[in-house]
Structure 1
Amino acid sequence: MSDTITNARGVARVLRAMDTSDGAGVSLKRSIGSPQLDMLDPFLMLDSLSTDKADDYIAGFPEHPHRGFETVTYMVEGAMRHQDSMGNEGVLRSGGAQWMTAGSGIVHSETPEQENGLMQGFQLWINLPAKDKMIDPRYQNLEPDELPEISPAAGAQLRLLAGSMYGEAGPINGISTDPVFVDVKLDAGCEISVPMPEGHSAVVYVFIGDAVVADKDVPTHHLAILKDGNGVTLKGGANGGRMLVIAARPIHEEVVRYGPFVMSSKQELMQAFDDYQNGNFVRKAAS
């Protein structure tokens, strides 16, 4: 994909993330999956965790199931231990990420590995097409040094999880929605362009400082929903800004969801609950 922006995206809407809690009482800010934005095909949820108060995160996310979608966890600061029913276990540290395709079903937990200090990170839920909802689970773990770091201009630092830009490609692969996921840090007044495929749903979430997205000022903990185009122009605000830029191909299919299950019909949803309650939920990935 070319880095040249020939059809720049504008901003359709700017939303303030809503305060909520999940897991065993972890304090979060939710920008997708809230009453103001139920979903943005294929994105089902975007949560931001940003606190230095241990009571806000220490309880973590005890064991829980997923079926029919993918979860992306990106840790900016802090450490979180992951365990799941496929036998995967590890610690997600500052700058690391995991892309988990739950598919037919996975049960996992996420527990803080620290008792004090800043915990800052994200979880994104991405829908799977109907044909992929019952595929074997897949887990891609990325250590911090596996993410390409790009500096397209003085005062700009990019960390690329998925997608291609400036001659680099993110390490995440084999995802049906062809995602772009990049962490962008800009000094005050620094301006860059981030390319993305036309037709993709796309958002920018500012989590430190503020930014100008296209022609709109976007403060901290606000989400900019982008119009269509093949890229977006970003500029650091008065004190600089840090933001996630996320895009993916819409699926355009029926979504029937409840809690940790995201299926294509009410019958499939009921089957997911039945499988979970009767111990038939998890199946090991094919060897």
Structure 2
Amino acid sequence: MTSHSNESGHQFRSIERLVKGLPTSDGAGVKLTRVLTQQLQHRLDPFLMLDAFRNENPEDYIGGFPDHPHRGFETVTYMIAGRMRHHDSAGNAGLLGPGGAQWMTAGSGLIHSELPEQEEGLMEGFQLWLNLPARNKMVAPSYRDIPSPAIPEFTTAEGVRVRVIAGSSHGVAGAVQRPDTEPLYLDVHLPAGCRFVQPVPVGHNAFTYTYRGSVQVAGTTAPDRHMAILANDGADGVCVEAQEDSRLLIVAGKPLNEPIVQHGPFVMNSTEQIQQTLRDYQAGKFEAAEVQVVSA
């Protein structure tokens, strides 16, 4: 597929591939869709995983995600509906509510839990895993709670509402800026008949995930609950149009182009580093993690 352009001067990326995702469960039986799987990690470098969950039935989420370890990357949790409570091995806690995000740098390793703080109603959101460069795999863990009011947003002249979780959009800086991977993370709400154009640096990998309605990306339909992997073809923009009221994520980042070796919740650069991680975990080193809390 070739890129498209228009009067804005941007070349628009086409859809290289549509991905529906794999229904699965994680934690204590939480039903979710794994959209960005391990097989796509190199293609969508620096992103390692995207899970989407949208459950009305409490039995599908009530068990949450009890204590589990991480090392070597960052997790970004973004809630649309529902409430989740975070605890970690340094004794810190945070409440993630509708429209809020949590940005956690696992770095050298920590143990945390994410448990629902509700017994009924809709639980909906996303967890994105973002890789760390080799030199930062073992940085001290940190986390930041970002309540909904702390996420900058703007509305275009056409009525498109854009929430800027990371990176920047149309002059609005997001809640989080990260070096090395330079992530862009937008939540875009499009009224029927509207379009939105977002610049994306040439060479960055990018995708969209539609979670309401149906949109067209450079003329190709990306329906509800589908990820569109955008061609990395020298184009410098994304153009999204909605035939009905729709919502989607736009995500992009700078590839690290480093080896990726994953073993469950650990992502390093070599098998030997994974083996050392397992030894450290079994020796209880994660339980004493000193987690740095960054205020919103």
Partner of 1:191: 195
Match of 2:114 among 91, 110, 113: 110
- Corresponding residue of 2:240: 234
What is residue 268 of structure 2 aligned with on the other side? 263
The alignment-based identity, stated in percent, is 48
Following TM superposition, the consecutive aligned residue runs of length 4 or more in structure 1 with deviations greater than 3 angstroms are none
C-alpha separation between the residues in 1 aligned to 2:87 and 2:291? 16
Distance 1:201 1:125 in 2: 14
For 2:81, the equivalent position in structure 1 comes to 77
Partner of 1:181: 185
**CA RMSD, Structure 1 to Structure 2 (Å):** 1.6
Q: What's the CA shift string for 1:204-251, capped at 9, x where partnerless?
A: 0001111111121011110000113221000113x2211010011111
TM-score normalised by L of structure 2: 0.91
Q: How far off its partner does 1:22 sit?
A: 0.5
Deviation (angstroms), 1:285: 4.8
For residues 168-203 of structure 1, what are the alpha-carbon distances to aligned partners after superposition, in whole Å with 9 as ceiling and x for unaligned? 100112343110000001111101101222211100
Between the two proteins, the alignment pairs up a number of residues equal to 282
Work out whether residues 177 and 183 of structure 2, in 8 Å CA contact, stay in contact via their aligned partners in 1.
Answer: no
Aligned residue number for residue 223 of structure 1: 227
Query: Residue type matched to 1:146 in 2?
Result: A
1:14-33 alignment, distance < 5 Å: 14-33=18-37
Q: Is the 8 A contact 1:206 1:222 kept in 2?
A: yes
2:152 matches 1:148:
yes
Does structure 2 conserve the Cα–Cα contact (< 8 Å) formed by 1:18 and 1:34? no
Aligned equivalent of 1:7: 11
- How does 1:29-68 map onto structure 2 within 5 Å? 29-33=33-37, 37=40, 40-68=44-72
Q: What is the SS of the residue equivalent to 1:274?
A: helix
Check the 8 A contact 2:38/2:48 in 1, yes or no. Answer: no
Match of 1:88 in 2: 92
Structure 1 CA distance, aligned partners of 2:279 and 2:185? 34
1:104-147 deviations in whole A, cap 9, x for unaligned? 00110000011111111000011111111001112121110011
Q: Distance in 1 between matches of 2:84 and 2:199?
A: 31
Q: Which amino acid aligns with 1:230?
A: D
Q: CA deviation at 1:153?
A: 3.0
Question: For residues 95 and 291 of structure 2, what CA distance do their matches in structure 1 show?
Answer: 22
